[in-house]
Amino acid sequence: MVWAEETNEADRIEGDRRDDRRYDLRLDMRWKVIRRRRVLETGTGVTIDVSSGGVLFETARPLPAGLNIELSVSWPVLLHDVAPLQLVVFGRIVRAEGNRAAVRMAQHEFRTVGIPADHRSVLATATRNPSAYLHANGPAGLGKIQ
């Protein structure tokens, strides 16, 4: 009898068992549910938390688990203090409860979005010759959280 009680207690694992650290980030985002290279649905939402392995987010309507999804998240850092960034995540919806969905990342990348014309030359110089850019702008020119 004592052994059975110990086994039951050992079988229960409490706490967060995820491998990746989660960061509470509330960021605006857009999503596209995809099946066989076709966009089935689109919408907007907000992230709840982000890790290197996934994203938990909230939308205006429930999403089905098991489908592929692309998320475009508005990132809060400017590239070289000039270019807005987006985190683009490709993955699968692994859990959906109400208007919340969890996505396991298969791939991710950062992309620049809408750079104002008067800032394009600054970004081009920084990309071609980072040492000259740093000399002119110092380490603070590498980007900062807005």
- Domains in the chain, please, with CATH? 21-142 (2.40.10.220)
Most confident of 19-28, 54-63, 120-129: 54-63
Q: What is the DSSP letter of 145?
A: B
131 vs 92, more confident: 92
pLDDT at 29 over 50: yes
Residue 21, token pair as written in the block: 């650290």
pLDDT (0 to 100) of residue 26:
97
Percent of the chain with pLDDT strictly greater than 90 = 55
Q: What is the C-alpha to C-alpha distance for residues 5 and 11, in angstroms, rounded to an integer?
A: 10
What is the mean predicted confidence (pLDDT) over 6-14? 46
Q: What is the C-alpha to C-alpha distance for residues 52 and 5, in angstroms, rounded to an integer?
A: 37
Percent of the chain with pLDDT strictly greater than 70 = 65
Cβ–Cβ under 8 Å, residues 32 and 42: yes
pLDDT digits (tens, 9 = 90+) for 59-75: 999 999 999 999 999 99
Mean pLDDT of the chain, nearest integer: 80
Cβ–Cβ under 8 Å, residues 56 and 45: no
Lowest mean per-residue pLDDT among 42-46, 77-81, 87-91? 77-81
Q: What is the DSSP letter of 66?
A: T
